[in-house]
Chains A and B, each alone.
Chain A
């Protein structure tokens, strides 16, 4: 979320110094400076307020469970010797947690790649191919954007039960692909539709077939939209708990579900929950900081889900 990514082109300060301001009395200028100071203090307090919960988790994960049970995390500011990586070391020896982390990767990567590829194929067809009822089909897909995943939980659980996908990584992937597609098709079709016709025609004259056109011209040109979609879908699947809670079993569960099963004994399992939650946040936060712009546009476009 760089400045230009989020709030592009806010007016530059000089304009604000322009004539109406200059005529203001000293008193009103002082009042303005004071309120500007108030705004800064307010934002500083709010920012702190927003950071404190996450800091609390981080510091709790860096203390022993005994310390966590005895006192608040802010005690580390006076007793820094409490900080220890022991919970993390224990956690990485915990087979359930490490295998669930691998499951998270095994679910998220294919679910993201498949959505991008299948969505791009359909998006291209909806943008640049002729077939009867093209726009109506597209509108139908757009209509599916807001369908809550909850609607599909029971029917798909029964369906997967019948065809043997229940409890498998593949089942979780398929579900995420299905519910990721409406947004993928919507976003990519709109983006592909803006590709200048001349570019496609030129490639066509060079003798490219439909598949070649798609792979060599459309996909590279669609880069920004594909990046947004990919990051958004990646985070969506990585952070999912509900779908995996239902469709995975103890062998295929991702980290979110593995941690959720420890929630019943929150206090006793804090040495697993706090570092586990933090580890599960590391990748999303890294993606967030690395791809702020794409993430913002993906979230802005995809909040429907």
Chain B
């Protein structure tokens, strides 16, 4: 915007001076210099504004006057209402998050030697097209955690804090002593007794999915006054299932499997299988049924459906922030360079810590720059189209809808130019305050 431009390129304000022509230009010459620009601006920018304004009051075919019907559709049409709602989310969150990050980066990089390299990295996405950024983020947001980096990281974090189950596909084989107990758990058909080793064979875990701690399964030794047993993968590769129900030489124990002893629906004891699949339960387990609870068999956590209906808008906003935080950072860094060092030093001498200096001195001094950045980004965000169009897959594009996208759909996909024109006029109205502000600011400057 105007003030940013002044800070950016044009030389500093000069003393008032005459800019009367040095040649005493004839008006025809001035007109010739201006003609190409004014003709193009008139035909391509001014004329469309008038046309849209008028068109927005006519019906679909453009033949009959429709009053405010098209504007009423802005608030009744489901597609437009979703778009409006999402645009509000965009305008509230995208500029503030991008500006906050830009502020943090600008302040933190000030004292770092490789701050310039950092700025280069963060600013770089500004140079590429939104289409390329969209393709980049389609890859990032791939739902399969083995392919999409967002879910790979997310699942990694999740599994660090929440233990994942080890045997999602395990189930009893034929003639098994176990039966389903509902909810994904399995339970023995017969009660177990002291001193008689129990066999809890299951099948179905892929060899590469077995926990690293799994060892060769071993038959449990009988023990007086205790219930012992083995739970293991009862499957020998290449030889069918080996001896069904018996521990064969190459079969692996279910290391870490939870086993519960259940009497009358109450858990009386529990144990965890060792690396070789053996476990030991105290005497209370005598006569109980052994249950392998469902927690052993839950499907692994697969991360978030980033581009699904509920997360698609935040996800696309994330990609926008990736593109534009660098813009905020660069403008704020330029503003920061103009903050007088003495003020910061004075605050430090007065005993303010770094946070107080930042909060009470730096931010207030930067307020005008921050305002420029936020307003610029808001205008930019109002018109966001490419990122949503590219990143949101067809299935959730309705949920990710924004005004500019809806304008495109209404105007060019579903042939409703009246409603599309109303959206265009609405967008224009939203930026008029900024237009007015720019003109007012410049009028003072121009008049010198």
Chain A residues with CB under 8 A of B109: 43
Contact between B5 and A300 (Cβ–Cβ < 8 Å)?
yes
Checking B354, B421, B431 against A146 with a beta-carbon cut-off of 8 angstroms, the contacting residue is B431
Closest to B417 in A: A154
A251 contacts chain B at the CB level, 8 A cutoff: no
Tell me which residues across on chain A come within 8 A of B34, comparing CB atoms.
121-122, 125-126, 137
Separation of A260 and B387 alpha carbons in the complex (Å): 11
Contact between chains at B435 and A143 (CB < 8 Å): yes
- Please give, as numbers and ranges, the residues of chain B lying within 8 Å of A157 by CB-CB distance: 411-412
- CB of A85 within 8 A of chain B? no
Contact between chains at A174 and B112 (CB < 8 Å): no
| A150 in contact with B404 given A7-B110, A122-B38, A256-B131 (CB within 8 Å) | yes
B116 touches A155 (CB 8 A): no
Number of residues from B at the complex interface, CB < 8 A? 126
Q: Which residues of B405-427 are within 8 A (CB) of A?
A: 407-408, 411-412, 417, 420-421, 423-425, 427
User: Is B181 interfacial (CB-CB < 8 Å)?
Assistant: no
Q: Mark A228-246, 1 if CB is under 8 A from B, else 0.
A: 1000000100111110011
| Across-interface contacts of A110 in B (CB, < 8 A) | none
Are B334 and A145 interface neighbours, CB within 8 A? Answer: no
Residues of chain B contacted by A27 (CB below 8 angstroms): none
Which residue of the partner chain B has the closest CB to A131?
A: B30
> Contact: A151 with B9, CB < 8 Å?
no
- Knowing A181-B37, A264-B394, the reply to whether A60 touches B139 (Cβ < 8 A) is yes
Q: Is A33 engaged at the interface, CB distance under 8 Å to the other chain? A: no
A92 close to chain B: CB less than 8 A: no
CA distance A135 to B19 in the complex (A): 11
Chain B residues with Cβ below 8 Å from A259 are 131, 135
CA distance A122 to B446 in the complex (A): 15
* Complex interface: chain B residues within 8 A of A225 (CB): 9-10
Q: Known contacts being A11-B341, A138-B446, A154-B55, is A72 close to B147, with CB within 8 Å?
A: yes
> A57, B136: Cβ atoms under 8 Å?
yes
Given contacts A178-B44, A182-B41, is CB(A148)–CB(B428) below 8 Å?
yes
Residues from chain A with Cβ under 8 Å of B7 in the complex: 300
Task: Please give me the residue from chain B that is nearest to A229 by CB atom.
Answer: B9
A170 to chain B, nearest CB (A): 13
B129 touches A128 (CB 8 A): no
A242 adjacent to B386 (CB under 8 Å): yes
**A224 vs B11: C-alpha distance in the bound complex, in angstroms?**
10
Q: Does B18 contact A (CB under 8 A)?
A: yes
Q: Are A53 and B119 in contact (CB under 8 A)?
A: no
Contact A56 B427 (CB under 8 A): no
In whole Å, how far is A268's beta carbon from the nearest beta carbon of chain B?
13
Given contacts A1-B123, A130-B21, A241-B386, are A121 and B51 in contact (CB under 8 A)?
A: no
Given contacts A150-B424, A194-B11, A285-B128, contact A20 B383 (CB under 8 A): no
Task: Decide if B129 touches A239 in the complex (CB within 8 Å).
Answer: yes
Complex: A274 Cα to B142 Cα, angstroms: 14
Q: Find out whether the CB atom of B393 lies under 8 angstroms from the CB atom of A266.
A: yes
Q: Is B166 an interface residue (CB 8 A)?
A: no
B109-141 residues at the A interface, CB under 8 angstroms: 109-112, 115-132, 134-140
Q: Is the CB of B27 within 8 A of A131?
A: yes
Min CB distance A3 to B, Å, is 5
Q: B41 is contacted by which of A139, A178, A245 (Cβ under 8 Å)?
A: A178
- A197 part of interface (Cβ distance < 8 Å): yes
Q: Residue A263 at the B interface, CB < 8 A? A: yes
- Chain A, Cβ-Cβ closest to B127: A288
List which A269-305 residues lie within 8 A (CB) of chain B: 273-274, 277-278, 280-281, 284-285, 287-288, 292, 295-305
Question: Are the CB atoms of A50 and B121 closer together than 8 Å?
Answer: yes
Inter-chain contact A129/B33, CB cutoff 8 Å:
yes
Q: Is the CB of B119 within 8 A of A156?
A: no
* Residue pair A190, B5 in contact (C-beta under 8 Å): yes
Between A and B, 29 residue pairs with Cβ closer than 8 Å are A1-B330, A2-B116, A15-B341, A43-B115, A54-B136, A57-B139, A72-B146, A135-B446, A143-B438, A143-B439, A144-B45, A145-B435, A150-B427, A154-B417, A157-B411, A174-B40, A186-B5, A187-B10, A204-B23, A210-B29, A224-B9, A246-B408, A259-B131, A260-B131, A274-B135, A292-B120, A299-B330, A301-B5, A303-B327
Beyond the given pairs A72-B146, A177-B40, A280-B131, 18 more chain A to chain B contacts, judged by CB atoms under 8 angstroms and listed by A's residue number, are A6-B330, A7-B334, A40-B112, A56-B140, A56-B149, A71-B146, A129-B33, A143-B438, A154-B411, A178-B45, A181-B41, A246-B412, A259-B131, A263-B390, A281-B129, A296-B123, A296-B330, A301-B4
